[in-house]
Amino acid sequence: MPSRIVREPLRFAYWVPNVSGGLVVSTVEQRTGWDLDYNVRLARKAEEVGFEYALSQVRYLSSYGAAQQHESTSTSLALLLATEKLKVIAAVHPGLWEPAVLAKFINTADQFSGGRAAVNVVSGWFKDEYTRLGLPWLEHDERYRRSAEFIEVLRALWTQENVQFHGDFYRVNDFTLRPGPVPVPGRPHPEIFQGGNSTAARRNGGAHADWYFSNGKDFDGFTEQYDDVTRVALEHGRTVRFGLNGFAIVRDTQAEAEDQLREIVANADTASVKAFRDSVQQAGASTADKKGMWADSTLEDLVQYNDGFRTRLIGDPEQVARRIIEYKKRGVNLLLLGFLHLLEEVEAFGTRVLPIVRDLEADLERDIARRGEREVLTGS
């Protein structure tokens, strides 16, 4: 297994609040809007303070307290047009999208934004979103098999002409997209993200995706996923980058940050959290090895619905920055962050935490260089 330490600067993303209710299922105050004006201000501030990515959520029905939802791809396009550097990832569901139609939409967004569009392929956990639209609901591993084909069709349409594809779920007959994606050095096509916890998700991440998103995990939990996905990628002659979800609570002191976490959990919207748990843990438990998404999440974990508290980015700026570096040492390339009050806390994170992260990264590189020199001198 290659070294886990990431030798390039960490990248940071934030969750786009394109659904109502904020990013925690709690009645605690959340100074976070979900309208276009708020999202444009947030996107511009995020790129100003050092965030490189944003992820637009996908929901078609109310769940986990998100009573209202804006669609992800149109939200992403709006934010791309309102910014200059930010890359925006649209979460999408196979089964609700045809891959060629999505490829065309993302191509257009990519052209209009100068090469900044990306997708997160979500295999789906919310059965009602399919069945209420009269669409088939596949069993867990079949959803991931469909996603694998979906990703391969996207990649083929973005990189080839006269595409032929004949799978179990999708057919493409001599199809060419024009125009193609914007040529970006080091990027053969719009980036493809995919996440999950299950064995099927890890297999897809290693074999097909450019990026693998992990739900919130502690050090051991992330390392276990990293090793598994990297092994699959090596078996397929590929490399994969890793994103990790986390909910950041950065305050002047650790005590203040911990108090904030306790307040969020104490004011949890218990009915909504339990309803969400019932939906998602059925999906996780349906996998043969019980490793599916949220299968082992507690009620407290699900107050932040992507297990963001588990990453433990909770403390003062120095503490949070040092924990982030420890994740970098374990192979994290990108942190996808949620915040209680998104606009003001994204700005605070960029101005108070990111500079410390960059200093610690420089220290880490110097330490690696010194170790390398010692190994050369000693012949080890």
Residues with pLDDT less than 70, the chain: 1-3, 64-65, 276-277, 279-297, 373-380
pLDDT value at residue 379: 53
Non-local CB neighbours of 30 within 8 Å, separated by 6+ positions? 21, 22, 23, 24, 340, 341
Q: Which pLDDT score, from 0 to 100, does residue 40 have? A: 98
**According to the model, what pLDDT value does residue 148 have?**
98
Give pLDDT, residue 376.
Answer: 46
Q: What is the pLDDT of residues 197-213, one digit of tens each?
A: 899 999 999 999 999 99
In whole angstroms, how far apart are CA 124 and each of 236, 269, 290?
25, 23, 17
Q: CA torsion, points 166, 172, 124, 28, in degrees to nearest 10?
A: 160
* Residue appearing with tokens 């080839």: 160
For 40, other C-beta atoms within 10 Å of its C-beta total: 15
What are the structure tokens assigned to 159, written together?
């990189």
How far is 254 from 29, CA to CA, in rounded Å? 20
Long-range contacts of 32-38 (CB under 8 A, 24+ apart): 32/339, 32/340, 32/341, 32/342, 32/343, 34/68, 34/70, 36/70, 36/78, 38/343
Residues 250-282 have pLDDT tens digits of 999 999 999 999 999 999 888 777 776 676 665
Q: Residue 213's pLDDT is what?
A: 96
Q: How far apart are CA 376 and CA 37, in angstroms?
A: 56
CA atoms within 13 A on the CB side of 363: 12
* CA–CA separation, 174 and 159 (whole Å): 14
pLDDT of residue 62: 80
Q: Rounded distance, CA 345 to CA 247, Å?
A: 11
* Predicted local distance difference test score (pLDDT) of residue 270: 82
How confident is the model at residue 288, as a pLDDT?
57
pLDDT at 61: 85
What pLDDT is attached to residue 1?
41
**Verdict on whether the full-model pTM lies above 0.75:** yes
- Contact status, residue 278 vs residue 284, Cβ threshold 8 Å: no
